[in-house]
Structure 1
Amino acid sequence: MTIGQFIPLTKLPRNLGCFDYQIKPELISQIKVGQVIKIPFGKREVWGCFVGLIEKSTFENIKAIDKIETLTELDSFQLEFLKWFSKYYYYSLGSTFKLMQPERPLKKQGLRESHDANDYIAIEFKPETQIKKIAQTILNNKEEKYWLADFDKNVKWSLYLELVKNSQLHSLSSDAGQAKKQIFILFPEVSLAQSFYQSLPRDIQNESRLAIGDNMKTKNKAYQIWSDIKDNKCKLIVGTRSTCFYLTQNIGTIVVDSAESGDYKQWDQSPYYDSIEILRKAQSFLKNKLILTTTKPRIEDTFVFKQENYQYIALGDKQKQNIIVVDMKKEQKRKFFFLSYQAEAALDDCIENNKQALIIINKMGLFSKLVCSDCGYEAHCEKCELPMMVNEQGELECRHCKLTIKAPTACPKCGNIKLQGRGAGLAQIKKELSQQYTCSENLADKKAQVLLSTGQYMNPGELKDIDVVIFAYFDSLIYLTDFNSNFRLYNFVQNIIEGLNKPQKIIIQTHFPNNEVFKFINNNYSFLYNNEISARKEHYYPPFCTLIKLFFQHHDKKICSAEAARLYAELLVRVKNIGGSISEPYLYYLNKIRKRYRYILTIKLPPCDLNKENELLSTVPDFWSIDKNPKDLL
């Protein structure tokens, strides 16, 4: 019997790789590398990808394959990608294969796209001669990698459309015998992907697939979209971060919109992959066009842009920003306790001129906590052990697990009946301002004098008529010390500013005016980058090392702590032997997550072979999570 190795299409423990099977001699000619066929697996049959023949198996009593039933075939790129992803993100081959291959439905149904045609914000395409030239230049030049700085957000949509058209998306002409190349456009949010897709001309939309949300929830829909992409039945694929698993060797162009977004990093479940990292690796395999669109790239990405000579293209000019940073520690008593003198004056001028003002408060509810001034009692969540906020209904609410309970009328510790709310939230500020102004949390409300928002999930199209922006409170973004905190703060502010239609008056109120971000907030992004890259080099953070975060969760704090200490002791010498360092175990900054304590170990490694990394982590149990190149170490 000849022995072949297969990757089973099923989720498996981290350290399991290929499985060996006997193949009857008469079947050898019917199977080739990449072919996915039925294989026996335990007491059931599963699909398995054939990766090659070996002379001898190290296992005894291996099962035999006595028939060939084919599902599909992975191309050479997909097979290489599968192996690389498994090694790079410490994820089993079978589990990786499952990410790439949707389950085939037992009963085939017609594909109906599940999105409401009215439930999106229309994008207006404005074709310009200059945009057409840029698209042609990108596609015709020998350069493959581009950094697209979209200072004019409206122009980028038109450029995307021109890239699609110039990729001969719906053209009948193509090189004889050569399949037309596909173009992938990825967005950080489902709503953005849907808006772009729905705004496309109908003829282009007919040759496109929207690989997001409800379209991928059922087996039939997911399998049909995957099949259309693989069989080259669609020329444009619009999706989000997980769409990167549907890449094939027929890719011509990949566009990543808003590449600075943290949403391209999988953070809530294993595997903790980074889509942009994946797309860069795919480009190194396929030599396709890769376009990252952003005015403020992640620090690691800018480093790569410089190292790998990405071609820089600016769409429009950067607006001059008039940002005033106010030190709230120096402010005297005012009409509104949460606004500085300059903010109050700017707000009054704005209202007098019949303009709208936008106030950003990065806290929900009436107050961020409820305390007793006599004994120091503070209301905490019984599940998360974190401070509970006072919501708009006057109840105590945990902002993390959403547990809601009735607020006590007296202090549970000393009986004081005068409990106080501290840290005014959006609802309290709205309540105060509504005594003098018309206020709304609906940013599309044109009748409101003052608009209020936490700054999250804002649509740039809603900010066109804003005359003054006041960041009333967002110091909570500064409190947490982390290697990436400066970039997150800068990104938060700039995302809002870039959504404005024209230069407005911008006032930032803070108790930390000496924070490094505020030194660079009025300057070009390059000032921030140079400062951050120097600090990261000094303290040995990415891109100068490989950063790995290991974490373990358990409802019992003692068990969690003991297990973290055990693994730390086991890895300490091994990490040092390959020139790395490992932190002592520390508790997650929120104490608990989903009712469980979380202990973290942080490993810094010098650039080394993936085999060494995998060997180092081979003894990490499956009940530990591994996050490579995490977006934070909190």
Structure 2
Amino acid sequence: MEQLGDIVIEKTINYRNPIELKEQPEYDIVLNENQRKVSEAIKETMDFKKKDKVNVHLIHGITGSGKTEVYMDLIDYTIKKGKSVIVLIPEIALTYQTVMRFTRRFKEKVSIINSRLSSGERYDQFERAKNGDITIMIGPRSALFTPFSNLGLIVIDEEHESAYKSESVPKYHAIEVAQKRAYDTGATVVLGSATPSLESYYKAKNGTYILHKLTTREKGNLPSVSIVDLREELQQGNKSIFSNKLQTLINDRLEKKEQTMLFINRRGFAGFVSCRDCGKAIKCPHCDVTLKLHNNKKLVCHYCGYTTKLPTKCPECGSTYLGGFGIGTQKIEMLIKQLCPTARVLRMDADTTSTKGSHDEILSAFANHQADILVGTQMIVKGHDFPDVTLVGVLAADMSLYASDYTAAEKTFQLLCQAAGRAGRGKNPGEVVIQTYAPDNYSIIAASHQDYDEFFEQEIVYRKLMGYPPVANMVSVLLQCSGESELEMATESVVQLIRKVKEQKYNELFVIGPADPPVSKINDIYRKIIYLKSDNRVHLIRLKDYLEYVINSSQNFKNINVQFDFKA
């Protein structure tokens, strides 16, 4: 019938759009003087790009300084030149407010991609990008692979976040991949954070990146921050998770009809032991990271393998009051309801956000004043803007401080600054209460001042002394096998290979381990880890290539899985 001309067949493809465009007021904000200076400086490098060089800009802006407005101005400039933009955000939890802002400004030009979309929905977004139906893609690190043919700008917001590093093979970092895509396409890379990673700030200091600063808040002032010493609370007879000061302020906010966020810092949660009298955690004498408590009552370092018995007294002050934390968001939700029976409480953690759309539901409910108090883990303190939140309580600052990781102080500082940044973003002043057993720790003191440079200057000295990134280069070699004895033999063989190369070629190479990683057995697969440090990154890369060649060509390693992970 078609051939006879009786009918005409038309085919149309209807791509799914995960964004529901609503009638919203325009979002066309005029930049203030500081924002305009940063934006113009970046545009200038976009217009006069050097050949074979990627321009990487780091915007270090305090919380609430308007980094998003600068991003939008740069995006508007890029798409007016006929090019496309990728905007990376670290977590799905940030999608709600980010997309609301961007769709108000750029309407149907925006799309999103994340793991909550079905495979078909993700496919549709990449097809829309390839066809030119959209020019802005927002999402976590997977959005980097959006097939734009005319990429002009890559923005990485909250660039310090560990979510930008893939935990599965290949263990790529979004910032490195962004620079490679920018090099191939002639695009510009813009990183932004109130608390940049030490690696990025170190590169900005030595001129590898171009540094820009935003030092004033767009609206309101930085909140006032109080540090509460939980040791003193115990001495006064208060055994509650809420200090007396925090309880008073929560009730005050309820009376004023203002909102409160309670943040429990669960990063690095498992296993460290600290003294409740002096606040000191028990650390490895060789690696300066906390020892982890195992079921056999032994404390183990997961860097070098150092092992010791759990002491009965604190090595610092002799107190017998040793212990770990054991409280979660559900417990806090229950306790806050007991403390404030009339308060409307929302909880946001891995359990309450496991279903599609649950992030948006919780955040929009809180934004619409359907709750007075939001209790949550780190996902509630990153990038959200709630003008009526005037109080933030950090319930356990020590948890991340004592993680068994050389970056523990950095992560703690970042989390506390991000948490503090949620308060006082509207017309009313904000207050922050940081509860801790270590009120004298430099990362907590610097976070209370919201002073990144103060923290950086102290932390970089520690990294230099210990030879940790970004001052030195480090790679971990993870070996896995179902047979424990076979793994032991293979690990010893790899160590011998490394020592041989060290003696013959790379004297400066420093070898730590082998040791058990924090989780030494998963699904009946045993694991061992070796750390290699060197001032020369090329030496580590060559050593990695040599080890891979030997392992892949030897029958002795046929049952061994080996993974290399560069730390900086």
TM over 0.5: yes
Pick aligned residue for 1:166 from 68, 77, 99: 77
Three-state SS of the structure 2 residue aligned to 1:423 is: coil
Note if contact 1:360-1:452 (Cα within 8 Å) is conserved in structure 2.
yes
Aligned equivalent of 2:563: 626
Note if contact 1:283-1:290 (Cα within 8 Å) is conserved in structure 2.
yes
Identity of aligned residues (%): 18
Aligned pairs for 1:405-484 (under 5 A) are 423-438=326-341, 439=343, 440-442=345-347, 444-445=365-366, 446=369, 450-458=373-381, 461=384, 463-484=386-407
Note if contact 2:63-2:194 (Cα within 8 Å) is conserved in structure 1.
no
Note if contact 1:361-1:472 (Cα within 8 Å) is conserved in structure 2.
yes
Note if contact 1:125-1:157 (Cα within 8 Å) is conserved in structure 2.
no
**Which structure's CA Rg is the greater one?**
1
RMSD: 4.0
Matched to 1:626, the amino acid is Q
Note if contact 1:328-1:511 (Cα within 8 Å) is conserved in structure 2.
yes
Three-state SS of the structure 2 residue aligned to 1:488 is: helix
Matched to 2:338, the amino acid is Q
Residues 68-125 of structure 1: CA distance to partner in whole angstroms, max 9, x if unpaired?
xxxxxxxxxxxxxxxxxxxxxxxxxxxxxxxxxxxxxxxx99352352628x998973
Matched to 1:530, the amino acid is E
CA 1:111–1:529 in 2, change beyond 3 Å: closer, same or farther?
farther
Count of residue correspondences = 462
Matched to 2:225, the amino acid is I
Q: Take 1:158 and 1:265, find their aligned partners in 2: how far apart are those partners?
A: 26
Pick aligned residue for 1:291 from 177, 187, 190: 190
Structure with the higher strand share, 1 or 2: 1
Matched to 1:480, the amino acid is A
Note if contact 1:368-1:425 (Cα within 8 Å) is conserved in structure 2.
no
Residues 502-526 of structure 1: CA distance to partner in whole angstroms, max 9, x if unpaired?
4522222222223231232233101
Unaligned segments of structure 2, at least 5 residues:
1-10, 50-54, 273-292, 296-323, 348-362, 553-557
Q: Take 1:275 and 1:512, find their aligned partners in 2: how far apart are those partners?
A: 34
2:179 maps to 1:252: no
Pick aligned residue for 2:43 from 125, 139, 142: 139
Deviation at 1:147, TM superposition (A): 1.9
Q: Take 2:69 and 2:495, find their aligned partners in 1: how far apart are those partners?
A: 52
Q: Take 1:479 and 1:203, find their aligned partners in 2: how far apart are those partners?
A: 42
Pick aligned residue for 2:433 from 495, 504, 507: 507
Note if contact 1:324-1:508 (Cα within 8 Å) is conserved in structure 2.
yes
Aligned equivalent of 1:489: 412
Aligned equivalent of 1:189: 91
Aligned equivalent of 2:60: 149
Aligned equivalent of 1:572: 499
Aligned pairs for 1:179-578 (under 5 A) are 180-193=82-95, 196-197=98-99, 199-201=101-103, 204-213=106-115, 217-218=119-120, 222=123, 226=126, 229=129, 234-246=134-146, 250-267=150-167, 269-284=168-183, 287-307=186-206, 308-314=208-214, 316-317=216-217, 319-331=221-233, 332-334=235-237, 337-362=240-265, 423-438=326-341, 439=343, 440-442=345-347, 444-445=365-366, 446=369, 450-458=373-381, 461=384, 463-502=386-425, 503-523=429-449, 524-576=451-503, 577-578=505-506
CA 1:528–1:199 in 2, change beyond 3 Å: closer, same or farther?
closer
Unaligned segments of structure 1, at least 5 residues:
1-107, 175-179, 370-384, 388-420
Three-state SS of the structure 2 residue aligned to 1:494 is: helix
Q: Which moved more, 1:485-494 or 1:505-514?
A: 505-514
Pick aligned residue for 1:581 from 496, 504, 510: 510
Note if contact 2:464-2:471 (Cα within 8 Å) is conserved in structure 1.
yes
CA 1:208–1:350 in 2, change beyond 3 Å: closer, same or farther?
closer
Q: TM-score, normalised by structure 2?
A: 0.69
Matched to 1:607, the amino acid is R
Note if contact 2:251-2:340 (Cα within 8 Å) is conserved in structure 1.
no
Residues 402-457 of structure 1: CA distance to partner in whole angstroms, max 9, x if unpaired?
xxxxxxxxxxxxxxxxxxx9834333343344334135134745465554323334
Q: TM-score, normalised by structure 1?
A: 0.63
CA 1:289–1:608 in 2, change beyond 3 Å: closer, same or farther?
same
